[in-house]
Amino acid sequence: DTAVSQTPKYLVTQMGNDKSIKCEQNLGHDTMYWYKQDSKKFLKIMFSYNNKELIINETVPNRFSPKSPDKAHLNLHINSLELGDSAVYFCASSGTATLGYGYTFGSGTRLTVV
C-alpha cells in the first residue's frame, strides 16, 4: 500500500498549457503539503492544508492553485505553464500541523515544460 501517492509520475507538456498533479494519502494524516524541488535539489514549500484549510501559502505565482476536496487529497493545478516551472513536485503529509512530526513524502512528479 502506497502511503502518499502522486500522479502522474512524469509530465511533459508545452508552454502555455494547464496541467494538474494529484496527491492522495491513506495514512489518516490531517496535514498535506506541496514542495517544489529545483534542478539543484533545493526544496521549497509551496502550500500546506490542514483538514482542507489552507495554512501555508508561500510566495508562489497565482498560476499555481491547490485544491483539497478532503483531508486525504491535495491536488495542484498549474495554469499557463512556463519553462521555469520545470521541476520535481513533491506531495507530503504529516499527522498534525504541530511541530515535531516528520513528513511522509510521495515519490514526486517530474514536470518538464518544453
Please tell me whether residue 102 binds another protein under the rule CB under 8 A: yes
> How far is it, in rounded angstroms, from Cα 106 to Cα 79?
22
**Nearer Cβ to another protein (7/80):** 7
> How far is it, in rounded angstroms, from Cα 7 to Cα 44?
20
Span interacting with another protein, options 60-68, 69-77, 78-86, 93-101, rule CB under 8 A: 93-101
> How far is it, in rounded angstroms, from Cα 34 to Cα 89?
7
Please tell me whether residue 28 binds another protein under the rule CB under 8 A: no
Please tell me whether residue 103 binds another protein under the rule CB under 8 A: yes
State the nearest-atom distance from the C-beta of 16 to another protein, in Å: 28
Report how far Cα 39 is from the mean position of its chain's Cα atoms: 16
